[in-house]
Amino acid sequence: MNEKDLELLGLLQEECAEVIQIVSKIRRFGLDSYNPYEPEKGNNQTLFEHEVGDVFLIIDLLKERGLLHDDAINDRMIWKRVKLEEGGIIPKRKSMVEFLMEPGNNPFLEDDVWDWIERDRRLNNISCDIKEELQHPTTSDPDNRRKYLLRQAAAIYAELETLSESEKENED
Ligand SMILES: [Mg+2]
């Protein structure tokens, strides 16, 4: 490992330690509190964002030098989110259709499309089943898994066919 890489890793250590320090302050005194000896530096909220920003920058620099890779990081983030959801630390994320079903979340949908989505929640159920299967496979056999996912994909296709046929009938 060359000098530059080692230097960046050292900076990452330092900046992570600074995040730990400010998080400790926030847990003890809250986000609005500030150091009475250095009020010009801002409150804990500001310092928190500064230190997290410092860490993000070092992470970007490590990526630029090829020491970190977005794909691997993103995969891990997805995995970790699921673990936190399972542990009840964070609420389970809504599917895209569930999200769009909520008032105010569908500004780009015309009313008739909105009705169309509302009429048929089966698509949503199928996509939830697929998501569940991807996150918690019921079988470790890749062949069985593939068959299951293909069946679900076929079910979605069938639903879309039925709906487009009924739309065509409406047009006629
Ligand atoms: Mg810093």
Over residues 38-62, the pLDDT tens digits come to 999 999 999 999 999 999 999 999 9
**CA 24 / ligand 1 centre spacing (Å):** 15
For the chain, the residue count is 172
pTM attached to this predicted model = 0.57
**CA 16 / ligand 1 centre spacing (Å):** 8
CA dist 170 and 172 (Å) reads: 6
Given a cut of 80, whether residue 163 has pLDDT beyond it is no
Name the DSSP letter for residue 166. H
**CA 38 / ligand 1 centre spacing (Å):** 15
DSSP of 65-125: TTSS-HHHHHHHHHHHHHHHHHTTSSPPPPPHHHHHHSTTS-TTS-HHHHHHHHH--HHHH
**CA 18 / ligand 1 centre spacing (Å):** 6
Q: Phi/psi zone of residue 55: left (φ > 0), alpha (ψ -120 to 50 degrees), beta?
A: alpha
**CA 45 / ligand 1 centre spacing (Å):** 14
